[in-house]
Amino acid sequence: MHVELLSYTPDPLRLLYTAARTCYSAGRPAELWAETASAAAMQRLIEHIVASGHHSILEHAYFNFALGGISRSCSHQLVRHRLASYSQQSQRYVEGPFDYVTPPSWEGAGEAWGRRYHRVMGELNDLYREALAAGIPAEDARFVLPNACSTQLVMSMNLRQLVHTVGLRTCTRAQWEIRRLFEQVAAVVRQAEPFLGAFLVTKCERLGYCDERESCGRYPLRADVLDQEERK
C-alpha cells in the first residue's frame, strides 16, 4: 500500500479563515483575504468555529491523493464515501498479470493456508491470461479476478469529508486494510499541513466517548458517559 499527497488547496489556512470571517463580517471576501493576520490568529478562529460545530468552512480545502496497492475489496469500501471524487485504474483497459493483496490472517492461520491462498491467486491469474489468449475480451476475462486484486486510483476529498472518513475508518472496528489506508492518509496530511491534519483523528478522540456497540477500551461508551453525568 502506498499513499501520496499529489496536491492540495493553496494557502488553505487563509482560505478557511476568510470563509469563517465572511460569515460574520460586512466586508467583502476579497477584502478579508487581503487583510494581514498571523497564522496563530487564523488558527484560533478556525479552532473556535470548528469546536462550535460549524464545519462547513472545512469544505473549501481540498486534498488530492494517489493511492496504490490496495485491494478491490478495499476500494469497494472506499467509494461508499460518496462526497469525494475517484478515478480508478480500469481492469478492462489495463491487462495483467495482476498483483494482489494478502490479508495477514491468511498467513497467520498457518503455512498451509498461506500456500493455498497464493496457489489459488496464481491459478486465477493463469486462467485470466489464458482467457485473453483465447480471444475472450478483457472486459469478460476479468470476471475471474478476485477482490484481492490490487488497484490504483486518484482520490480527492475536502477537509470536512476527510475529518468524517478518518474518524470512522481509523476506528479499531474498521476493516484492517481501509484502517491502514486512512492512517496513512491522515499522516501525509499532517506532514503537509500540521494544523489542519490535527483535525484528522479517530471519532472517539473528537467525541470523548465511543459511539459503537462495544468500546475497544480507549474511551467509555456514550451511554456510560451519560450515566456518569446523571449521577453527578
14 SS3 class = helix
Active site includes 190?
no
Beta bridge partners of 2: 68
Query: The C-alpha cell of 43 is what?
Result: 488558527
Q: What is the Cα–Cα distance from 117 to 119, expressed in whole angstroms?
A: 5
Q: Which secondary structure element, helix H or strand E, spans residue 104, and what is its range? A: helix 104-108
Q: What is the Cα–Cα distance from 15 to 159, expressed in whole angstroms?
A: 12
44 SS3 class = helix
In Å, what is the CA distance from 171 to each residue of 70, 157, 160?
18, 19, 17
In Å, what is the CA distance from 82 to each residue of 13, 20, 21, 86, 169?
25, 25, 29, 9, 14
CB atoms within 10 A of CB 130: 12
The answer to whether 141 and 128 have CB atoms below 8 angstroms apart is yes
Q: Which secondary structure element, helix H or strand E, spans residue 139, and what is its range? A: helix 138-141
Catalytic residue among 28, 169, 222, 231: 169
**What residues are annotated to the active site?**
169
